[in-house]
Amino acid sequence: MWPLITMTLAALLWLLSGTLGATALDPSFLPYQWLQMLTLALSALAAVQVLHRLVSLMLQRANGATGTATSDLLRAVVGIALYLVAGVLFLRHGLGLDIGNVVLTSAALSVVIGLALQPLLGHLFAGVSIELERTLRVGDHIRRDELEGRVVSLSWRSVRMVTVRRSSLVIPNSDFTSRAIEIIPAEQPYRHEVLFSVDATTSPGVVLRLGGQALRSGLTNALSTPEPSILLVGNDARNGTINYAARFFTLDYLNRRVAASEFLERFWYALSRDGLRYPLHYRQSEAASDMAALPGISAALQQMLLESGHRHHYARREKLAGGMIALVLHGSLQLASQPDPQHDEAALQRLLVQLSSVGHKPGPSRLAPEQRAALLNDAKLVLGPLAHPLCERIAALTENPLLAYRALAQSCTHPAQRAALLEKAPSHSLRSLRQGDWLGWTQALGVSVAQEVQAGEEGCEVFSWPAAELRAALAGATADDLGELMAQARRGTGGGRAFTQAQLMNWLQARTARATQPVAQHEAGVSVF
């Protein structure tokens, strides 16, 4: 923009100067001389600006895909050099001054200015050394003492960074050449270490096993390669604990503590599922009260279920292990499954009736925040300003994103818009399992394949049985108990509606010798993420 403005002004001045000269204006006329000097000055300035712009574009193109990451330092140095050369040429040829005499007569002034600018010159030369050595690039992370951040620009005087708190941090260039600073390259994985302690009575082998499972459970921003690890680093005799270190690699240095927090949370739940935090009598009494809430099941069957199952706690969005049959005690689970046309169509009609009800006020959103945001963004492209209130009402009525997209598509009058919106809908249907719902029957009976299940909220509790142990426990159950148990499983939303009494009886009769063997409690009580 500025080069264009300067060139336009210079052209106008050249036109004005030529016009006045053509009218035989006295060249010695003082205003005319000022006009000529101003014309030459603007012309020189325009030439420098255009040349500086061309050099900046060449520097960006030389860096390829990372052209926008070219430091401001090199461009600033090139600009200063161009402006100095242009200024010297203008003084010599434009004003007719003897540059040598000017420099000699201003030596004292130059010394004074040099002393005053000594700190700035130190930053400038330090920035030049940073640029030449290429030890620091835009996008790298820096840590020194308590200060850390990501480099966003390199200038002739300082390095500007953004911290994890989204604040700006400015460090003078001279600090990088006079003090030790840790630099984490942007493309290089950083190994983060989380220290934690566990009671010394807990076997180190159990801690290493459960900690490794938590590290490999899909932590946010944590890499699977290089392999994460758990190390035993010492003990604290005064507190009776053993100290461990969990190590994992990440490319998001500033947000590395998010993965560390998730690890500690999931490790706590893993310990609780292994029975290390809950005394046996407490778990049994709690589970007994939950089992008693199931109507129609005899006390004998309840006791068999208690003895063969285990109570587990899960963190939000933590995945459940496969190969088990479970009953939801508290909280909710989310089951990702293939769409069921008949069931989904009935659910869609109920949702549309609720949307059309007069006076309905939207409650809190039942969709996950990221699902709600995606629904709103896609709806804005089709419905415009009407998208927000409609999406709020739909999000308050369903927790199934596929059903939400289908309900939203009903508001599109144009077939092409409706088809475009449905193309962005998720491919899987998300069902919620709540207290009293069963999970895993159809997979155990071979009716359907295993489906991904994760905890829908914090502190979700399930009572689960490995399929072999549950089959052994149900071997002595009466026909009435089996019928009531199957009816309750079929009423749940965990996909148990598909199996029949004959399939259940065939599964019970297919007992293997392994199902009758006792299983160690610590093996039966652990779920793999």
CA within 13 Å, CB half, 149: 17
Separation between Cα atoms, residue 186 and residue 191, nearest integer Å: 13
Res 236 pLDDT > 80: yes
User: Span 8-12, mean pLDDT?
Assistant: 74
For residue 514, pLDDT over 90 is answered with no
Work out the average pLDDT over 453-458.
80
CATH of the domain at 165: 2.30.30.60
519, 451: one domain: yes
Q: Are residues 166 and 257 in the same domain?
A: no
Lowest mean pLDDT among 17-21, 223-227, 394-398, 430-434: 17-21
Q: Is there a single domain that holds both residue 44 and residue 73?
A: yes
Give the distance, in angstroms, between the CA of residue 43 and the centroid of all CA atoms in the same chain: 51
Q: Is 326 helix (H, G, I), strand (E, B) or coil?
A: strand
Same domain membership, residue 151 and residue 79: no
From residue 46, alpha-carbon distances to 18, 49, 73, 83 in Å are 19, 5, 22, 11
Question: Is the per-residue pLDDT at 399 higher than 90?
Answer: no
397/466 same-domain check = no
User: Per residue in 114-138, pLDDT tens?
Assistant: 555 556 666 666 766 766 667 788 8
> Comparing 39 with 523, which gets the higher pLDDT?
39
Same domain, 313 and 234: no
**Main-chain phi, psi angles of 268, to 5 degrees:** -60, -45
Name the packing angle between helices 2-22 and 30-62 (round to 10°). 150
Same-domain check for residues 331 and 457: yes
Kindly state whether residue 406 falls inside one of the protein's structural domains: yes
Position 52 in a domain? yes
**Residue 520 zone, left/alpha/beta (φ > 0; ψ -120 to 50; rest):** beta
Domain assignment of residue 117, yes or no: no
DSSP 181: -
* Number of CB atoms found within 10 A of residue 430's CB: 20
Q: Say what the pLDDT of residue 513 is.
A: 38
What is the average per-residue pLDDT within 238-265?
Answer: 90
Residues near 214 by beta carbon (within 8 Å), at least 6 away in sequence: 246, 263, 266, 267, 270, 529
What is the DSSP annotation of 218-278?
Answer: --TTEESSSPPEEEEEEEETTTTEEEEEEEEEES-STTHHHHHHHHHHHHHHHHHHTTSSS
Tell me, yes or no, whether 437 and 520 share the same domain: yes
Could you tell me if 414 and 450 lie in one domain? Answer: no
Sign of CA dihedral 317, 321, 325, 329: negative
Q: Percentage of the chain surpassing pLDDT 70?
A: 72
Q: How many domains does the chain have?
A: 5
**Packed helices 107-116 and 118-133: angle between N→C axes, nearest 10 degrees:** 70
Q: Which domain holds residue 226?
A: 190-273
More confident residue, 40 or 468: 468
Q: Among 14-23, 212-221, 246-255, which is the least confidently predicted range?
A: 14-23
What whole-number distance in Å separates Cα of residue 35 and Cα of residue 21? 11
* Reported confidence tier of residue 96, pLDDT bands at 50, 70, 90: low
Of 158, 161, 152, nearest to 120 by C-alpha is 158
Residue 88 has pLDDT above 50, yes or no: yes
In degrees to the nearest 10, what's the CA dihedral of 370, 375, 378, 382? Answer: -160
Q: What backbone phi and psi angles, to 5 degrees, belong to 356?
A: -85, -5
Residue 246, domain CATH: 3.30.70.100
Residue carrying the six token digits 């979700």: 460
For 415-429, how does the pLDDT look when each residue is reduced to its tens digit (9 = 90+)? 887 888 888 888 777
Mean pLDDT score of the chain: 75
Segment 331-366, tens digit of pLDDT: 888 887 777 676 677 778 888 887 777 555 667 877
Which has the minimum average pLDDT: 36-50, 85-99, 279-293, 342-356? 279-293
pLDDT for res 429:
77
Same domain, 99 and 25: yes
Cβ contact 144:182 at 8 Å: yes
Order the strands of the 324-330 sheet from edge to edge: 310-314, 460-466, 324-330, 438-439
**How confident is the model at residue 453, as a pLDDT?**
85
Final residue of a domain: which of 399, 427, 455? 427
259 and 174 in one domain?
Answer: no
Domain end (from 392, 411, 427): 427
Once rounded to an integer, what is the mean pLDDT over residues 401-412?
A: 85
Between 326 and 41, name the one with better pLDDT: 326
* 329 and 437 share one domain: yes
Helix/strand/coil for 431? strand
